[in-house]
Amino acid sequence: MTQQPAPATTAPRIVVGVGPEEVESALAFAADEAVRVGCGLHLVHAVSLVPPGPDQVLLPAIDLEAWGAERLAEVVKLADDLVQGAVPVTHELRRGTPVGVLVDVGRTARMVVLEHRHLSRLSRIVNRTVAGGVAAHLRVPVVAVPSGWHEDRRRGVVVAGIDVPDRSAEVLRAAMAEAHARGAQLRLVHSWSLPGPYEEALAAEEIRRWSDRSRAEVRAALDALGDLTAAMDADVQVVHGRAAEALVEASADAELLVIGRHDPLVPIGSHVGPVARAVLREAICPVLLASPRPHRAVYHP
């Protein structure tokens, strides 16, 4: 098992989860972020020694660790090429499940970054994203970067998904900090809908009234944070429809989508919520899952 010593700096590092599949997009995002803020980049690969299924080949632990070390070395080289010595790159290989290892390592991180593959409809039924599992148990931001995303897709817009406006302070703060750091426009997206039978009975005037009220609530939540410039410049969009669909559509011309997640209630079995899971599956841009509560290592551009 190999491990490179941590850098001398005490600033929180950006942690990148390294697996057997694509990691280039997550690495590009994390490297750019680390260089921008001047913090270390830490690569973590988990070797899970679980009993194999009937269709798997039993490999000795030493072979799995050797393969993991080789894979990690490949990614370290990619990271070194990306940061060009601007920030330290460290790495470690650990035994355990990807979620368990990343939760442990990520507790003191500035951010945890993972690559997310778009899965087939059948795969969605039997798979939950590592990003969702990690985000359910960490207070720091977790970013899921879609495979195939590149830095040249920056659009100059940071989108924040606002669920319940008066309980969205952390999402708003995270999105404001990201928009400011990137020199991007802040766009707030809030959606609303009613149960099926009520939706069918809504007249155009009622839809407009509901939307106006929702827009005022989002504006009030933004004003409550005290940043008058951000409040004046933000683009508030209210959508009559399903939240996940509205956010996925908004991700098409964004460079980052910031959404909230459920506050874990129990140590095992917690989840990020159905909307967040749906957005993680389908979003076109990187998705930042904001902490439900403040964290000392978060948002220091």
Residue 67, both tokens: 């393969």
Global pTM reads 0.83
Q: Please name the residues in contact with 35: beta carbons below 8 A apart, sequence gap of 6 or more.
A: 83, 86, 87
183 three-class SS: coil
Under a CB-based contact definition with an 8 Å cutoff, are residues 44 and 103 in contact?
no
Report the topology of domain 14-116.
Rossmann fold (3.40.50)
10 three-class SS: coil
Instruction: Give the separation between CA 275 and CA 260, rounded to whole angstroms.
Output: 9
Q: What is the DSSP string of 77-118?
A: HHHHHHHTTSS-EEEEEEES-HHHHHHHHHTT-SEEEEEEPP
Which amino acid does the sequence have at 265?
A: L
281 three-class SS: helix
Minimal CA–CA distance to 39: which of 83, 76, 72?
83
Cα dihedral: 189, 195, 200, 202 (round 10): -60
Q: Which residue ranges make up each domain of the chain?
A: 14-116, 154-285
Q: What is the CATH number of domain 154-285?
A: 3.40.50.620
The alpha-carbon radius of gyration of the chain (Å, integer) is: 20
Under a CB-based contact definition with an 8 Å cutoff, are residues 191 and 239 in contact?
yes
pLDDT per position in the chain (301 positions), as tens? 444 444 444 679 999 999 888 899 999 999 999 999 999 999 999 987 655 444 445 556 567 788 889 999 999 999 999 999 999 999 999 999 999 999 999 999 999 999 987 654 444 433 457 888 898 888 899 999 999 888 766 679 999 999 999 889 999 999 999 999 888 999 999 998 876 666 666 777 888 888 899 999 999 999 998 876 666 789 999 998 889 999 999 999 999 999 997 654 444 444 677 888 889 888 999 999 987 655 444 333 3
Q: Quick check: do 14-116 and 154-285 share a fold?
A: yes
C-alpha distance across the termini of the chain, in Å: 34
> Is the torsion defined by CA of 69, 73, 79, 85 positive or negative?
positive
Instruction: Give the separation between CA 240 and CA 292, rounded to whole angstroms.
Output: 25
